[in-house]
């Protein structure tokens, strides 16, 4: 291919006109822009479905049996709950979950909320399921964490630890404004009360982080859920 080399060498010596360069850059940009837009259009639908699918699966894992999710944005500072469709740019952090009973009737199962807090190495994001009837947390799942593999990431994998959240007591106090007992993480094997979380030995910091993020979220989210319980039970239907 010495012909190509011979072609480019003299070319490099004489300066190219600016107009040519601008036109060339413009043309290349247009082509590149087109490629990107096409790729975006082709994949956008699949990506949206994938993300929705993942959310559905994760919620289904913390609250088994839920087939229909109604999405809400709960503002913990202002104390409001609004359906996702009515807020612009909000991120869903509360799901009202519905399933069907034996006779095929739509039935309210409970709420699933998103919570986040600082772990050992970065933010931990998690989902937890709350049953308003029993006033307990019935399920918990870490969505994202950067905890140390092999130690801190036991909060995701450890079955004994996850057993803490099958029936965690989060009963409200008398005037329904806060939890009667704050959720606390205790040392491994020292759990005495139903509102305590039994830590994983060897991953105490990560276990405590889970307790803290749950408590911080539940302390406000659960009173809020009870204030809006009627609306949530109807689920926008």
Sites of contact with other proteins (CB under 8 A): 1-2, 4-5, 7-8, 11-12, 15-16, 20-21, 24-25, 28-29, 32-33, 35-37, 39-40, 42-44, 46-47, 50-51, 54, 76, 91, 93, 114, 116, 118-123, 125, 144, 146, 148-151, 205, 209
Closer to other proteins at the Cβ: 55 or 136?
Answer: 55
Residue positions counted in the chain: 237
Q: What is d(CA 197, CA 210) in angstroms, rounded to the nearest whole number?
A: 9
Distance of closest approach, residue 232 Cβ to other proteins, in angstroms: 19
Distance of closest approach, residue 16 Cβ to other proteins, in angstroms: 4
| DSSP state, residue 88 | S
Tokens 């593999």, residue located: 149
Closer to other proteins at the Cβ: 106 or 118?
Answer: 118
Distance of closest approach, residue 15 Cβ to other proteins, in angstroms: 8
* Torsions phi, psi for 154 (to 5 deg): -65, -20
Distance of closest approach, residue 93 Cβ to other proteins, in angstroms: 5
DSSP letters spanning 158-214 = -HHHHHTTSSEE--B-TTSSSBSS--EEE-TT---STTEEEPPTT-HHHHHHHHHHH
Q: What is d(CA 144, CA 134) in angstroms, rounded to the nearest whole number?
A: 28
Distance of closest approach, residue 99 Cβ to other proteins, in angstroms: 25
Q: What is d(CA 221, CA 135) in angstroms, rounded to the nearest whole number?
A: 12
Are 91 and 101 in contact by the 8 Å Cβ rule? The answer is no
Closer to other proteins at the Cβ: 12 or 237?
Answer: 12
Closer to other proteins at the Cβ: 39 or 134?
Answer: 39
């Amino acid at each position: 291919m010495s012909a190509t080399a011979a072609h480019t060498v003299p070319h490099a010596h004489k300066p190219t006109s600016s107009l040519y360069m601008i036109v060339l850059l413009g043309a290349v940009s247009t082509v590149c822009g087109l490629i990107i837009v096409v790729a975006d259009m082709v994949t956008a639908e699949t990506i949206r479905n994938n993300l929705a699918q993942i959310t559905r699966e994760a919620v289904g894992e913390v609250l088994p049996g839920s087939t229909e999710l109604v999405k809400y944005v709960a503002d913990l500072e202002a104390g409001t709950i609004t359906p996702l469709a009515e807020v612009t740019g909000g991120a869903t952090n509360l799901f009202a979950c519905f399933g069907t009973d034996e006779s095929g009737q739509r039935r309210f199962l409970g709420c699933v909320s998103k919570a986040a807090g600082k772990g050992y190495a970065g933010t931990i994001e998690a989902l937890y399921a709350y049953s308003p009837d029993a006033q307990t947390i019935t399920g918990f799942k870490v969505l994202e964490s950067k905890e140390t593999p092999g130690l801190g990431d036991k909060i995701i994998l450890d079955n004994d630890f996850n057993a803490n959240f099958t029936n965690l007591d989060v009963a409200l106090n008398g005037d329904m404004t806060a939890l009667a007992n704050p959720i606390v993480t205790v040392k491994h094997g020292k759990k005495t009360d139903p509102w305590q979380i039994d830590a994983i030995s060897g991953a105490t910091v990560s276990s405590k982080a889970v307790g803290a993020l749950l408590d911080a979220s539940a302390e406000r989210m659960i009173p809020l859920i009870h204030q809006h319980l009627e609306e949530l039970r109807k689920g926008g239907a």
